Chains A and B, each alone.
Chain A
Amino acid sequence: MPVPSTMASNTATPSVSLDPQRSFQGLILTLHNYWAAYGALILQPYDMEVGAGTFHPATTLRSVGPRPWKAAYVQPSRRPSDGRYGENPNRLQHYYQYQVLLKPSPSDLQDLYLGSLYEIGIDPDNHDIRFVEDDWESPTLGAWGLGWEVWCDGMEVSQFTYFQQVGGFDCNPVSGELTYGLERLAMYVQEVDNVYDLNFNGGEGADRVSYGEVFLQAEQEYSRFNFEHANTEALLRHFEDAEAECAALLKAGETGQGIHLMGLPAYDQCIKASHIFNLLDARGVISVTERQSYILRVRDLSKACAEAWLQTAGGGADETSTPEEEPGNG
């Protein structure tokens, strides 16, 4: 179908800037360019609801096993209990993380990271950039690492972690993970105090689209959903279903020959269970005692998935074990 001619001819080129200091999307593109130039794969977000960029298989699973990996991507992240009905200037139940995973961690990782800050216009002569201790632990992923939260003038703009264990397995080699909180970083460089005032597209005047125009309504609606209306009985069922499905896929994918055939779909169910748990938590229906047991249930899934992953090509199974040939099968 041909494009109607009016659309092409009547729309003047809008005046937009890709300057990371004036445009949220410009910030993302700048980081993409920086890390692409470094040699990282620029991946797309994972198509599931996750609490953080770490859950993307490009981080969780790729950080397990011997194979080198360099990737960067944006991940929409949902934290139901952080919703504030759009009334808090910087708490969101849905936001974007920019995630970089370099395996093995290069020895100049701090400098590389600082280079990316300079690239988006943070001038080290006038800003106070600090690495403040923050050990990272994800009980649901059976993962932990040491590192820092990176502060810029008192604002936490990134998490910087050297993964030590994921899915209960020692990371060897160790991956370096960088997670930029994109909204915070953008608020910082655009010098706005309210996330909803961020310039999303870098447009001026009538061409300007704010973050609020894109997401305020969503924050209000999802806060209602997360805190008041999510059907907890259904969610409890969904949790059980995801857990059962994960276990079933893990079992079905076993070959008994050191090779697993369905680590990735099984891991999807683990992600699902984890997000449902977060929603239940936001609804306040999980007691402290139960909470621990839910966390352990998700952790069991993620450990089993990591174990399955190690038996796949991506997990390096073809490097560590060559499939044995059955006699007489030739």
Chain B
Amino acid sequence: MPDLLLELFSEEIPARMQKRASEDLSRLVGEGLTEAGCTFDRVEAHATPRRLVLSIEGLPASQPDVREERKGPRTDAPEKAIEGFLRSAGVTLEQCEEQVDKKKGAYYVALIETKGRPTEAIIAELVPEVIRKFPWPKSMRWGTGTLRWVRPLHSILCLFGGQVVEFEVDGISSCDHTFGHRFMSNGEPIVVSGFEDYGMQLETSFVMLEPETRAAVIAEQAASLAAQGRLELIEDAALTQETAGLVEWPVVLMGGFDESFLALPSEVIITSIKSHQKCFSLRDPQTGKLANRFMLVSNLLAVDRGDKIVQGNERVIAARLSDAKFFWDRDLKMSLEDRLPALKNITFHARLGTQAERVERIVSLAGEMAERMGVDVAVAQKAARLCKTDLVSGMVGEFPELQGLMGSYYAKAEGLETDVADALATHYKPQGPSDEVPTNKVAQTVALADKLDTLACFWAIGETPTGSKDPFALRRAALGVIRIILEGDLKLPLLQILKPHLAGPLERRIEAEPGYVKQLIAKYLDDDADGAKAEENWDKGRREECLAREVVGVSANLLEFFADRMKVYLRDLGARHDLIDAVFSLGDQDDLLKIVRRVDALGIFLDSEDGQNLLAGYKRAANILAAEEKKGTKVETEVDEKLFDGSEEEAMFAALKTAENDGVVAVSEENFEGAMAALAQLRAPVDAFFDAVMVNAEDEKVRANRLALLGRIRAATLQVADFSKISG
């Protein structure tokens, strides 16, 4: 079984594209071969900065032969028809056989045998096509050619069974040789015979073919160098990956920088040498503090063992750090408060105004939240006012990923309250399901205000997430709100908070978008009976009414979004989704903490024997009621005690009244365990009722009264949850 070896040798492929490209190459060639009937045993693909490599083992020498039978005309058909058939099938009469059909009689069947083409020929067609259509995220032309590749493609090594598969792509002919390391090899072509030979020869020409090997070598060398210096590497898997994509022969070296730079915030140093220089930072394991050392990954085993390379990198890093220091020193000269005017020059979103306007909204929302949460309103509003000021600092301009953090450093430096500094640092959190939630009360206030404002604003302009598209990370914002509220044990009625906050952005939209006004008119205003058109009603002062109704509609829609995110969140925590539905189904649930407490209490209750039995009783009652309601029977809400026949009915009615009363009190106190306990009292009377009483009585009135009793069971349970959503 012959093997295929393919190498596409080019100028330097961007590190971030290599992995995906090797996977694409493997997939496209693999699929092409499989479709052609050439299946194989094993495939592996690799990438280095200068090459994509594919090895496929165990291919057949040719496609399988295909035998096809094609029905032709009757044997006694006119000669012309038979000739035409033979021509179209490409066979002679001798290659046909006669078959007999009861209806049709004797007719010809052409036996067409197609010999499988040599796999080599398939490859010679397939590979050029894959190259021409390769899905690079960005590709280019070069010289006078028309071929597109990620960077100029120089040679194509293609061997099948050790022989060159001949083809040409835009003037590049396939061949049997490759090249070694750009600087460490002698630069001569390396003729190879197969994959194993290829790998071995590359190794001796200073190319480590597998990215995993390069990453492992980097990690290993870095760890051992760090240990030699009695330091600890600050690990960074993404950086290891990236550097592995920048070198064919990794050699890790260690350098240092002036101790005085350690006065900069450590995040600034780490980010600066990582994002600009792709170098690793180190810390002192004794103190946990950042060390004035760094590690670089070079692509070369230098003759001087890397002295010049280290010196060079040290110089660049010193320059980078002094640039960072310039920003730091300059930023410190200006107070955060003084940066506020500059926010007027930054657009937050074309349809939502500037960052300054956004901050104003966040401040007002933070004030309201602070009051509800018992936080010092002045401090919360101060933190909110300053929370975006670092966006116009030099450092964040240079390193956007340091937003928030820099604000807190500057706040501390100018002696602002610790709470304010904390809020600036953490108000973007949590950034995802595993990120931590702010614990400081002021920070929680600002973080909630920031996220709720973002959600309200994008809902106001109708930019809501659809399917996989969520360009403004609104799902993340909603999840953030949910986590801050629940993990912080905060009681906040979201609807009450959101409604007034929606009016502003909606007003703005009405002012700016005539199309939106038309939508509102169509949605809320009709032509009057006296002939006034809907548009005129808008002008006649019904604008406010439309706005009010829109606020209600948009906030309800946003709350639904919260409900969805909440379900996802609770489900991830292991809550039963039917219980979540049972609680949400009650409607108008905007107190997230209350929802969770209800779900928890419901879960515990249903795990008890009382709960299970009551649920069974509820189901029985609900089924009977559903059947009746389907027939059009109206179930009364009032029960007439005079129509009772026997103690079971009396007992159940008495229990219902108690349970209803206790339930209402418990729910109003948000004592959901109490509400469940009240329901639990129903279990015995309900069981007894179903054992002894026949709902379907002869007497119409008695029957209706008994249905009304069942209705009360349903109503009683509805105080705590919609039991109809509960499964089991």
Is residue B303 contacting chain A, with contact meaning CB distance below 8 A? yes
Q: In the complex where A126-B302, A164-B140 touch, is A87 in contact with B326 (Cβ < 8 A)?
A: yes
Task: Report the separation of the CA atoms of residues A130 and B183 in the bound assembly, to the nearest whole angstrom.
Answer: 10
Contact of A128 among B14, B141, B300 (CB under 8 A): B300
Q: Is the CB of B318 within 8 A of A105?
A: no
| B315 partner residues in chain A, CB cutoff 8 A | 155, 187-188, 193
Q: Which of A193-251 contact B (CB under 8 A)?
A: 193
Q: Which of B309-326 contact A (CB under 8 A)?
A: 309, 311-313, 315-319, 322-323, 326
**Within the complex, what minimum Cβ distance (angstroms) separates B223 from chain A?**
21
* Smallest Cβ-Cβ distance to A291: which chain B residue: B345
Is residue B347 contacting chain A, with contact meaning CB distance below 8 A? yes
Q: Is the CB of A133 within 8 A of B299?
A: no
Is residue A15 contacting chain B, with contact meaning CB distance below 8 A? no
Q: Which of B423-454 contact A (CB under 8 A)?
A: none
Q: Is the CB of B277 within 8 A of A154?
A: yes
| B279 partner residues in chain A, CB cutoff 8 A | 154
Contact of B152 among A84, A145, A162, A287 (CB under 8 A): A162
* Smallest Cβ-Cβ distance to B318: which chain A residue: A193
Task: Report the separation of the CA atoms of residues A90 and B299 in the bound assembly, to the nearest whole angstrom.
Answer: 26
Is residue B540 contacting chain A, with contact meaning CB distance below 8 A? no
Q: Which of B253-270 contact A (CB under 8 A)?
A: none
Q: Is the CB of A110 within 8 A of B313?
A: no
Is residue A174 contacting chain B, with contact meaning CB distance below 8 A? yes
| B144 partner residues in chain A, CB cutoff 8 A | 104, 172-174
Q: Is the CB of A90 within 8 A of B15?
A: no
Q: Is the CB of A105 within 8 A of B14?
A: no
Q: Is the CB of B313 within 8 A of A153?
A: yes
| B311 partner residues in chain A, CB cutoff 8 A | 153, 191
Q: Is the CB of A131 within 8 A of B326?
A: no
Q: Is the CB of B183 within 8 A of A124?
A: yes
Q: Is the CB of B347 within 8 A of A107?
A: no
Task: Report the separation of the CA atoms of residues A153 and B307 in the bound assembly, to the nearest whole angstrom.
Answer: 10
Task: Report the separation of the CA atoms of residues A229 and B154 in the bound assembly, to the nearest whole angstrom.
Answer: 52
Q: Is the CB of A288 within 8 A of B141?
A: no
| B323 partner residues in chain A, CB cutoff 8 A | 88, 91
**Within the complex, what minimum Cβ distance (angstroms) separates A280 from chain B?**
13
Contact of A132 among B246, B302, B307 (CB under 8 A): B246
Task: Report the separation of the CA atoms of residues A289 and B352 in the bound assembly, to the nearest whole angstrom.
Answer: 13
Q: Is the CB of B143 within 8 A of A106?
A: yes
Q: Is the CB of A128 within 8 A of B309?
A: yes
* Smallest Cβ-Cβ distance to A192: which chain B residue: B315
Q: Is the CB of B183 within 8 A of A152?
A: no
Q: In the complex where A105-B143, A107-B154 touch, is A127 in contact with B319 (Cβ < 8 A)?
A: no
Most buried by B among A126, A171, A172, A174: A126
| A155 partner residues in chain B, CB cutoff 8 A | 312-313, 315-316
| A164 partner residues in chain B, CB cutoff 8 A | 140-141
* Smallest Cβ-Cβ distance to A156: which chain B residue: B316
Is residue A180 contacting chain B, with contact meaning CB distance below 8 A? no
| B322 partner residues in chain A, CB cutoff 8 A | 88-89
Task: Report the separation of the CA atoms of residues A255 and B528 in the bound assembly, to the nearest whole angstrom.
Answer: 62
Interface bin, chain A: 35 or more
Is residue B151 contacting chain A, with contact meaning CB distance below 8 A? yes
**Within the complex, what minimum Cβ distance (angstroms) separates A17 from chain B?**
21
**Within the complex, what minimum Cβ distance (angstroms) separates A160 from chain B?**
9
Count of B residues near A, CB < 8 Å? 48
Q: Is the CB of B12 within 8 A of A148?
A: yes
Is residue A317 contacting chain B, with contact meaning CB distance below 8 A? no
Task: Report the separation of the CA atoms of residues A88 and B323 in the bound assembly, to the nearest whole angstrom.
Answer: 7
Task: Report the separation of the CA atoms of residues A106 and B317 in the bound assembly, to the nearest whole angstrom.
Answer: 34
Q: Is the CB of B318 within 8 A of A130?
A: no
Task: Report the separation of the CA atoms of residues A107 and B312 in the bound assembly, to the nearest whole angstrom.
Answer: 30
| B142 partner residues in chain A, CB cutoff 8 A | 104-105, 107, 162, 174, 176
**Within the complex, what minimum Cβ distance (angstroms) separates A138 from chain B?**
16
Q: Is the CB of A89 within 8 A of B319?
A: yes
Task: Report the separation of the CA atoms of residues A172 and B144 in the bound assembly, to the nearest whole angstrom.
Answer: 7
Is residue A129 contacting chain B, with contact meaning CB distance below 8 A? yes
| A47 partner residues in chain B, CB cutoff 8 A | none
Task: Report the separation of the CA atoms of residues A171 and B376 in the bound assembly, to the nearest whole angstrom.
Answer: 62
| B151 partner residues in chain A, CB cutoff 8 A | 146-147, 162
Task: Report the separation of the CA atoms of residues A173 and B298 in the bound assembly, to the nearest whole angstrom.
Answer: 35
**Within the complex, what minimum Cβ distance (angstroms) separates B357 from chain A?**
13
Residues 221-238 of B, flagged 1 when their CB comes within 8 A of A and 0 if not, give 000000000000000000
| B115 partner residues in chain A, CB cutoff 8 A | none
Residues 93-112 of A, flagged 1 when their CB comes within 8 A of B and 0 if not, give 00000000000111100100
| B139 partner residues in chain A, CB cutoff 8 A | 146
Q: In the complex where A107-B152, A133-B16 touch, is A174 in contact with B143 (Cβ < 8 A)?
A: yes
Q: Is the CB of B347 within 8 A of A289?
A: yes
Task: Report the separation of the CA atoms of residues A218 and B561 in the bound assembly, to the nearest whole angstrom.
Answer: 59
Task: Report the separation of the CA atoms of residues A171 and B302 in the bound assembly, to the nearest whole angstrom.
Answer: 39
* Smallest Cβ-Cβ distance to A106: which chain B residue: B143
Is residue A318 contacting chain B, with contact meaning CB distance below 8 A? no
| B300 partner residues in chain A, CB cutoff 8 A | 127-128
Q: Which of B278-333 contact A (CB under 8 A)?
A: 279, 296, 298-300, 302-304, 307-309, 311-313, 315-319, 322-323, 326
Q: Is the CB of A154 within 8 A of B316?
A: yes
Is residue A324 contacting chain B, with contact meaning CB distance below 8 A? no
* Smallest Cβ-Cβ distance to B277: which chain A residue: A154
27 contacts between A and B (CB under 8 A): A88-B323, A88-B326, A91-B323, A104-B142, A125-B303, A127-B300, A127-B302, A128-B299, A128-B309, A129-B183, A132-B12, A133-B15, A146-B139, A153-B311, A153-B316, A154-B277, A155-B312, A162-B142, A162-B151, A171-B141, A174-B143, A176-B142, A191-B311, A193-B318, A287-B345, A288-B345, A288-B346
Q: Which residues of A contact B (CB under 8 A)?
A: 84, 87-91, 104-107, 110, 124-133, 135, 145-148, 152-155, 162, 164, 171-174, 176, 187-188, 191, 193, 287-289
- By Cβ-Cβ distance, the 6 closest A-B pairs, closest first, are A153-B312, A133-B14, A287-B345, A131-B12, A154-B313, A128-B298
Identify 6 new A-B residue pairs, CB closer than 8 A, beyond the known A106-B143, A152-B312, A174-B142. Answer: A105-B152, A107-B154, A127-B309, A154-B277, A162-B140, A288-B346
